[in-house]
Amino acid sequence: MQLYIMRHGETSWNKARMIQGRTDTELTERGIEMAEKTAEGIKNIDFECIYSSPLTRAYKTAEIIRAGRDIPIIKDERLFEVCFGEWEGANIDERQDQLEKFFDDPVKYVATRGAESYEDILSRAKSFLEEVIYPLKDKEDDCKILVAGHAAINRGLSAILMNTELKDFWAEPHRKNCAVDIYEITKDGIKAIQEAGYYY
């Protein structure tokens, strides 16, 4: 099977470099355009279904990608973005204390002020893959699934798929809005066949 993991389109908080986390924000006009161009770029992919974070920015992106396909979009709370607690709404360039380590030194990051830990992110990602994605692989070898998510949870999914060390959680390439990663999952193993692909 092939698993497509896509980040949502641009939001006003992305533009302002504000920390979103679980805060529910809308796509900008440019974010909608990004998603529309991505939808055009992958319009010939015969997806079995789409799984989405319940947050509006991801779900709207999923709806745009679905376009005219008669397939379900299934919300899964394990695909929520990481919760930053009291840090949400802060400007990312003014971050301080432990939050700085979240992006720059994951190994030394300690979740504070109601934020989630990396262990939490990876636990959710592992649960989703083991309970939703891997069983599909066993049933239908050639199925294609799209996940519409967020920067951190998507990296968590990738880390579990590729057995990535925590220190390399944010390794290049950076995934901008509407970046698409593609993984091939078979009985013989898992391999990345596209990292941070763009269609706009």
Residue among 79, 197, 186 at smallest CA distance from 131: 79
Catalytic residue among 81, 88, 116, 150: 81
Q: Is 131 a catalytic residue?
A: no
Q: Tokens representing 23?
A: 């805060």
Say how far apart CA 120 and CA 97 lie, in whole Å.
20
Q: Is 8 a catalytic residue?
A: yes
Catalytic residue among 8, 10, 88, 116: 8
* Alpha carbon distances (Å) from 22 to 51, 91, 131: 17, 15, 23
DSSP letter string, the chain: -EEEEEE---BHHHHTTB--TT---PBPHHHHHHHHHHHHHTTT---SEEEE-SSHHHHHHHHHHHTT----EEE-GGGSPPP-GGGTTSBGGG--THHHHHHH-GGG----TTPPPHHHHHHHHHHHIIIIIHHHHHH-TT-EEEEEE-HHHHHHHHHHHHT--GGGTTPSSP--TT-EEEEEEETTEEEEEEEEE---
Q: Could you list the active site residues?
A: 8, 81
